[in-house]
Each structure stands twice: as C-alpha cells, then as structure tokens.
A and B are shown apart, each in its own frame.
Chain A
C-alpha cells in the first residue's frame, strides 16, 4: 500500500508569490491534515479536512488555505509569501471519522522563501 505522497518535495519562492502544495493520502483514508514545521515554532497544526470539509483549523492567517477533493487528495495554498513561511509542510492522513490521532505522515514539502 502506497504511503502519503507530497509534491513537490522542494521548492523555492520569493516574497509576495503564492504556492500550492499537494498531498495524496493513503488509499482509503478520508482525513487529511496539514502541519507546518520550523526550527523556531516546531510542529504547528494548520488544518484538517474530512470528506471535502474543513473540520479543524489552527491559528494561522488567512493567507493559508486548503481544500480537499472528492478522491481525498488535498492541496494547501499560501498566498503573499513571507520569509517566515519558510518551513517543512507535512501532510498526514488518517483512516476515518473518529479522532484517533494516529496519523500517517508524508515526507513533506520543504518551502524556502527568499
């Protein structure tokens, strides 16, 4: 069974640009969560989607958005990039509706903002 796939793995953008990151969950998983990992702030929850609906949202500005498609694949978008958005963005999938906290993580998309 294929794991969580994130694309692209690495990308470089400049301030003011926008970026879209993609995540394909494990087959059959309906929940997709996104986390930001930085040396200074650690791992922070961005949002979670289940059956195309945002179920939870972290404390990030509106520049950070996401969506989930009918096949459970998810994208997150960051607009008007700032230097502080440089981070590893991790996607995680989970099988079902119940809050198990058992997440299966992808290897991440490493974003560098210059």
Chain B
C-alpha cells in the first residue's frame, strides 16, 4: 500500500522566518495531498490541500508545492508566528493501492521561538 515519508520530525525556527516540511509518496496513482495541523491537546485539522492537477497552492502564509514526477510535496510557512507551533502531518490518498483512505506521514513538530 501507499507509504508517506515526512521530514524533518522536529523543526525549530525563529519567529518571522520560514519553515519547510517535505513529504514523499510511493504510489503514482495518489492524487490528493492534504496537510493537517494538530495543536497541543487538540485534534488534527485540515489547513491546506493540493490535488494532482496543480503544482502550487497558496493560502495566506501557507504554500504547498507538488512535484508529481519526483513524487514529492512540501509545505512552506512564510513569516512564522508562535501560533504556528504545532504538529503538522502530510498525507496522500487517491485511486491507487491506498484506496480512499488517507495515509499520513509521521508528523513534524514545529516550534517557533519568539
């Protein structure tokens, strides 16, 4: 089945700088790539997603890039704020081996220092 690798597992940045999280997937049939944010003590929530017919998507300070050839996608947070500190999960799903379920990466713990 589909597997998603996510790096780094821990990311510490200074407030105002950028943060980047990288994910790779195995199944070329995967066509949907969401990102979920989980704040301490809370449940994961969707923050941005990208479909395979796009290469780039931006919502405010969040940018997602997708390279289908390399089977990689990434999340970039520009101008990070302390409120961005959380666990971030990438995921993949589609019509391939994973079926309709989301397969998640292991997560990245982002810490933004004031």
- Chain A bound to chain B: no
> A residues near B, CB below 8 A?
none
> B residues near A, CB below 8 A?
none
